[in-house]
Amino acid sequence: MPVEVLIVGQGLAGSLLAWQLIEQGFRVLVIDDGAENASQVAAGLINPVTGLRLLKSADSETLLAAAHSLYRQLECYFKQAFLIEMPMLRVLQSEQQYQFARQRLADPDYQTLLGDWLPDVAAIQAPFGCLQQRQTGYLRTQALLAALRQWLIDRQSYQCGRFDYQQLTVQPRLQWRELQPRWLVFCEGHQGRRNPWFGNLPFQVVQGEIVSAVAATLLPPQIINYGHWLLPQADGSFKTGATFDNQILDGLPTASARQQLLASLQAVMPALGPLKLTGQRVGIRPATRDKQPFIGSHPALPQLCVFNGFGAKGSLAIPWYAQQLIAYFQQGRPLPGHCNIQRFL
């Protein structure tokens, strides 16, 4: 059967796009070099209310609905839990942020996303109190990627290997080895910066580190967000992260990131007591200068597409944006302007 869509990259972007394309009847082949990627390292947090101002983006309800629907569908198919819903406790950082919290609590638009403001929470240092957040949780990205990879292998829709740009012919039509796909979609994460057709897009990649540990005391039953965050895991351990560094992009763990994460955790939850560190992982977020994804066709070679730039929000954003790219393939429906790479022409 001829391949219609060739996808480069099996991170969250390539995997979720492939699943949804195949659901729509497309014949797909995914090629990935098998290296550890940002999607495997990510905590997978889903948090629609972010930043100092505690704002939700205009499309957060749309993104949440698409994400929930897709992850529930995948859970039914693979009979595994991927999206773990877990409330988040936001430790307010200043008087200013406390005032923003009050404004959001009074705003009916935030009713489904916020709970109460709590002046005191046991075992948490919070001079400005804590804000309860709802519709938060995390995606078990490693389990999901492993399930999708095996599913793609079983249907002969996966190749392990590095995609060599030199092997691609683009005129008069796309040809890669024996394949003549109708579309080629690059989902290469931060490595997209080296892509000969899309590498000049304004990426602003950011390295991040996450530490895993076990505490002597009982963990809280929710995600604690204090600038960094603590994410309790089902096995009683927890993760804490993540750092942001746009200078060092070597993918290597650092003592300074570990110390930074442990010091801020200790400051907000001193009662956690001694910790046993069990791991430290590093990844590079494919972030963009204007904080919007990079999606769409190359201006001169429309069969070549990019689906990238999901920054620190891949778990929430990718399901809905994949639907937009598929509608573009199926019906020629224009991509939303804010994510379409035509904005850089």
Ligand X SMILES: Cc1cc2nc3c(=O)[nH]c(=O)nc-3n(C[C@H](O)[C@H](O)[C@H](O)COP(=O)(O)OP(=O)(O)OC[C@H]3O[C@@H](n4cnc5c(N)ncnc54)[C@H](O)[C@@H]3O)c2cc1C
Which residues contribute to the site for ligand X (CB under 6 A)? Answer: 8-14, 31-33, 35, 37-39, 41-45, 162-163, 187-191, 208, 210, 241-242, 283-286, 308, 310-316
- CB-closest chain residue to ligand X: 11
Quick one: 129 or 188, whose CB is closer to ligand X?
A: 188
Q: Are strands 5-8 and 28-32 parallel, antiparallel or unpaired?
A: parallel
Name the minimum Å distance from CB 84 to ligand X: 12
**H or E segment and range at residue 76:** helix 60-78
Please choose, from the candidates 35, 31, 27, 2, the residue with its C-alpha nearest in 3D space to the C-alpha of residue 15.
31
Q: How many CB atoms lie within 10 A of CB 341?
A: 21
Quick one: 129 or 313, whose CB is closer to ligand X?
A: 313
Q: Return the half-sphere exposure (C-beta side, CA atoms, 13 A cut-off) of residue 123.
A: 12
Quick one: 104 or 313, whose CB is closer to ligand X?
A: 313
Quick one: 35 or 122, whose CB is closer to ligand X?
A: 35
Quick one: 163 or 198, whose CB is closer to ligand X?
A: 163
- Asked whether 309 and 288 are in contact (CB, 8 A), the reply is yes
- Asked whether 14 and 8 are in contact (CB, 8 A), the reply is yes
Name the minimum Å distance from CB 179 to ligand X: 15
Quick one: 28 or 45, whose CB is closer to ligand X?
A: 45
Name the minimum Å distance from CB 161 to ligand X: 7
Name the minimum Å distance from CB 13 to ligand X: 3
Name the minimum Å distance from CB 263 to ligand X: 18
Radius of gyration of the chain (CA): 21
Quick one: 44 or 129, whose CB is closer to ligand X?
A: 44
DSSP SS3 for 109:
helix
Name the minimum Å distance from CB 78 to ligand X: 19
Name the minimum Å distance from CB 238 to ligand X: 14
Query: What is d(CA 136, CA 44) in angstroms, rounded to the nearest whole number?
Result: 11
Cα dihedral value 96, 102, 103, 107, nearest 10? 160
Q: Are strands 88-91 and 130-133 parallel, antiparallel or unpaired?
A: antiparallel
